[in-house]
Structure 1
Amino acid sequence: MSAADPTSNRATDAPGLADALRGGPARRRTRRDPDAPSVLARLVPDRDGLVDIGFAAALVSIALVGMRTGFLGAEWVVAAWAGLVLGLLVGHVAATLRWAALTGFLVLAGVYFLLGGPLAVRDSLVAGVLPTPQTVADLAVWGVEGWKRWLTLLPPVDARGPVLALPWLAGLLGGALTLGLARRWTSVPLTAVTPVALLAASIAFGTTRPAALLVQGVGFAAVLVGWLVVRSHRLRAPLQNGAGRRARLLTGAALAGGALLAGGLATPVLPGAGDPAARDVVRTRLVPPLEVSQFASPLPGYRQYTEPNEADLYEEEVLRVAGLPEGAMVRFATLDRYDGLVWGAADRSADGVPFQQVGSRIAESGPGTPVEVQVSVPDGGYSGTWLPTVGEPTRIEFDGPRADDLADALWLNTATDTAVVPAGLLGGETYRMSAMLPPAPAEELPEDLAVAGGASLDVDTDFLDARIDAWTARAEGGAWGRLRAVAAAMRTEGTYTDGGTAGSVESVYLPGHAVSRLTRFVGSTKLAGNDEQYAATLALVGQRLGIPTRVVMGAEPQADGVVRGKDVHAWVEVQQDDGSWFPVGWETFVPSRDKAPSEQQLRTEEQQVGAQVPPPAGVSPPSVLQGPDQAQNATDVERRERNPLDPTQWALWLQLLAGVVLLLLLAAAYVAVVRWLKARRRRRHASTGPVPARAAWVWRDLVAEARAVGVDVPRGVTRREQADHLDAAVALAGRPRTPDGEAARGVALPDGVVPSAQVAAGVDAVVFGPGDGDPTRTTTLFDDAERARRTLRSGTGRWARLRSDADPRPLLARTERTGRRPRPAWRSVPVLRRT
Structure 2
Amino acid sequence: MNLDPVPLTRAQRLALTTASFLFLVVATMSLGPLIAGSGWWWLCAFIAAGVLFSGVGLRALRTTAALVPVLELVVLLLLLTLVFSAGSSIALIIPTQGTFETFAQLISGAARTIEQQSVPAIPVPALTFALAFGVGVLAVLVDILVQTVRMPALAAAPALVPILIPGFIIEAGAEVPTLVLAAAAYLLLLRIDVRVRRRARLAAGDLDDDAATVVPPKRVPIASTLGATLGLAAVGILTASLLAASTPSISTSLLLGTPGQGTLFARGVSPFIDLGRDLRRPAPRPAFHYLARDGDRPYFTLLTLDRFEGEVWGVTEQAVDGDNTVDAMPRPDGLSSAVETSEHPIDVVVDEVRTTWLPVPYPATSIEGLDGSWFWDDGSLTVRSVDTNTAGQRYRVNRLEIDPTPAQLRAAPRDLPDELAPFLELPDELPAIIGETAASVTAGAGSPYDAAVAIQAYLRSNEFDYSTEAPVAEGYDGGGFDVIAKFLEVRAGYCVQFAATMAVLARESGIPARISIGYTQGSPSDDRVNGVQRVEVDTHDLHSWPELYFEGVGWVPFEPTPGRGTVPGYSRPGAGEGTNTPTQSAAPATPGASDRPDVDADRGLAGGTSDPFATNAWWIRGGSLTLAVIALLLIPAAIRAGQRLTRRRRIRAGEWAADAAWEELTATAADLGAGVADVETPRAVAARLGEREAFIAAEPRTALIALRDAVERERYGPAQLGPGTPGQDLLDELSVALAALAADAGPAERLRAALAPRSLFARVRRAFGERPPAGA
Which category describes the TM-score, using the shorter chain as reference length?
Answer: 0.5 to 0.7
1:335 corresponding residue in structure 2: 305
1:446 corresponding residue in structure 2: 415
Task: Please tell me whether the aligned partners of residues 360 and 397 of structure 2 are also in contact (alpha carbons under 8 angstroms).
Answer: no
Q: Distance in 1 between matches of 2:307 and 2:769?
A: 58
1:733-789 Cα offsets, whole Å, 9 max, x none, are: xxxxxxxxxxxxxxx845653264553233213332235565565654443233212
1:766 corresponds, among 714, 722, 732, to 714
Task: Please tell me whether the aligned partners of residues 304 and 514 of structure 2 are also in contact (alpha carbons under 8 angstroms).
Answer: yes
**2:49 partner SS:** helix
Task: Please show how residues 358-373 of structure 1 align to structure 2 within 5 Å.
Answer: none
2:289 corresponding residue in structure 1: none
Q: Distance in 1 between matches of 2:557 and 2:234?
A: 66
Q: Distance in 1 between matches of 2:63 and 2:746?
A: 18
Residue identity matched to 1:93: G
Residue identity matched to 1:754: R
2:184 corresponding residue in structure 1: 222
Task: Please tell me whether the aligned partners of residues 116 and 265 of structure 2 are also in contact (alpha carbons under 8 angstroms).
Answer: no
Bigger CA drift: 221-230 or 665-674? 665-674
CA positional deviation for 1:225:
1.1
2:647 corresponding residue in structure 1: 682
1:779-825 Cα offsets, whole Å, 9 max, x none, are: 54443233212211222344543554456897999999xxxxxxxxx
Task: Please tell me whether the aligned partners of residues 244 and 250 of structure 2 are also in contact (alpha carbons under 8 angstroms).
Answer: yes
Unaligned 5+ runs, structure 1: 1-41, 299-312, 321-329, 435-439, 473-484, 501-505, 524-530, 555-567, 575-581, 607-613, 626-633, 733-747, 817-826
Q: Compared with structure 1, are the counterparts of its residues 778 and 278 closer, same or farther at alpha carbon in structure 2 (3 Å cutoff)?
A: farther
Residue identity matched to 1:783: D
1:23 corresponding residue in structure 2: none
CA positional deviation for 1:713:
2.2
1:87 corresponds, among 51, 57, 78, to 51
Task: Please tell me whether the aligned partners of residues 190 and 832 of structure 1 are also in contact (alpha carbons under 8 angstroms).
Answer: no
2:195 corresponding residue in structure 1: 233
Q: Distance in 2 between matches of 1:833 and 1:364?
A: 65
**2:87 partner SS:** coil
Larger radius of gyration: 1
Q: Compared with structure 1, are the counterparts of its residues 219 and 365 closer, same or farther at alpha carbon in structure 2 (3 Å cutoff)?
A: farther
Q: Distance in 1 between matches of 2:73 and 2:660?
A: 39
Q: Distance in 1 between matches of 2:141 and 2:632?
A: 25
Q: Distance in 2 between matches of 1:670 and 1:100?
A: 17
CA positional deviation for 1:551:
3.6
Q: Distance in 1 between matches of 2:644 and 2:92?
A: 53
**1:377 partner SS:** strand
**1:753 partner SS:** helix
Task: Please tell me whether the aligned partners of residues 551 and 571 of structure 1 are also in contact (alpha carbons under 8 angstroms).
Answer: yes
Q: Compared with structure 1, are the counterparts of its residues 721 and 544 closer, same or farther at alpha carbon in structure 2 (3 Å cutoff)?
A: farther
CA positional deviation for 1:233:
3.2
Residue identity matched to 2:660: W
Q: Compared with structure 1, are the counterparts of its residues 186 and 78 closer, same or farther at alpha carbon in structure 2 (3 Å cutoff)?
A: closer
**1:595 partner SS:** coil
The normalised TM-score by structure 2 is 0.60
Unaligned 5+ runs, structure 2: 1-6, 203-213, 280-291, 336-341, 401-407, 468-478, 490-494, 519-543, 559-567
CA positional deviation for 1:133:
3.0
Correspondence 1:96 to 2:44: no
1:317 corresponding residue in structure 2: 296
1:100-149 Cα offsets, whole Å, 9 max, x none, are: 4663355345434445433333333578777553124323x368766534
1:377 corresponding residue in structure 2: 346
Q: Compared with structure 1, are the counterparts of its residues 53 and 585 closer, same or farther at alpha carbon in structure 2 (3 Å cutoff)?
A: same
Q: Distance in 1 between matches of 2:271 and 2:58?
A: 45
Task: Please show how residues 19-98 of structure 1 align to structure 2 within 5 Å.
Answer: 45-46=10-11, 48-66=12-30, 76=40, 79-98=43-62
1:462 corresponding residue in structure 2: 432
1:10 corresponding residue in structure 2: none
1:704 corresponding residue in structure 2: 667
Task: Please show how residues 272-671 of structure 1 align to structure 2 within 5 Å.
Answer: 272=249, 283-284=264-265, 293=274, 316-318=295-297, 333-336=303-306, 346=314, 349-351=315-317, 376-377=345-346, 387-388=359-360, 398-399=368-369, 403=370, 417-419=381-383, 429-431=395-397, 443-446=412-415, 449=418, 451=421, 461-466=431-436, 490-491=448-449, 508=462, 539-541=503-505, 550-551=514-515, 571-572=547-548, 595=574, 622=597, 637-638=607-608
Task: Please show how residues 122-201 of structure 1 align to structure 2 within 5 Å.
Answer: 122-124=86-88, 132-139=96-103, 141=104, 148-154=111-117, 165-179=129-143, 181-197=145-161, 199-200=163-164
Q: Compared with structure 1, are the counterparts of its residues 143 and 726 closer, same or farther at alpha carbon in structure 2 (3 Å cutoff)?
A: farther
1:683-740 Cα offsets, whole Å, 9 max, x none, are: 32224356xx332222122222322333342233322233344345x349xxxxxxxx
**2:662 partner SS:** helix
**1:716 partner SS:** coil
CA positional deviation for 1:217:
1.5
Q: Distance in 2 between matches of 1:656 and 1:456?
A: 47
Task: Please tell me whether the aligned partners of residues 95 and 184 of structure 1 are also in contact (alpha carbons under 8 angstroms).
Answer: no
Q: Compared with structure 1, are the counterparts of its residues 586 and 96 closer, same or farther at alpha carbon in structure 2 (3 Å cutoff)?
A: closer
1:801 corresponds, among 736, 747, 750, to 750
Q: Distance in 1 between matches of 2:330 and 2:177?
A: 27
Q: Distance in 1 between matches of 2:394 and 2:435?
A: 47
Q: Distance in 2 between matches of 1:222 and 1:550?
A: 53
Task: Please tell me whether the aligned partners of residues 550 and 572 of structure 1 are also in contact (alpha carbons under 8 angstroms).
Answer: yes
**1:446 partner SS:** coil
Aligned residues: CA RMSD: 6.9
Q: Compared with structure 1, are the counterparts of its residues 397 and 94 closer, same or farther at alpha carbon in structure 2 (3 Å cutoff)?
A: farther
**2:383 partner SS:** strand
1:44-90 Cα offsets, whole Å, 9 max, x none, are: 942x3443343233223223445656767776456434423321332
Task: Please tell me whether the aligned partners of residues 398 and 431 of structure 1 are also in contact (alpha carbons under 8 angstroms).
Answer: yes
Q: Compared with structure 1, are the counterparts of its residues 619 and 377 closer, same or farther at alpha carbon in structure 2 (3 Å cutoff)?
A: same
Q: Compared with structure 1, are the counterparts of its residues 151 and 227 closer, same or farther at alpha carbon in structure 2 (3 Å cutoff)?
A: same
Task: Please tell me whether the aligned partners of residues 172 and 248 of structure 2 are also in contact (alpha carbons under 8 angstroms).
Answer: no
Q: Distance in 1 between matches of 2:646 and 2:360?
A: 70
Task: Indicate the percent of aligned positions where both proteins have the same amino acid.
Answer: 16
Q: Distance in 1 between matches of 2:98 and 2:323?
A: 20
Q: Distance in 1 between matches of 2:547 and 2:764?
A: 81
Q: Distance in 1 between matches of 2:198 and 2:10?
A: 21
**1:87 partner SS:** helix
Task: Please tell me whether the aligned partners of residues 763 and 781 of structure 1 are also in contact (alpha carbons under 8 angstroms).
Answer: no
CA positional deviation for 1:443:
3.5
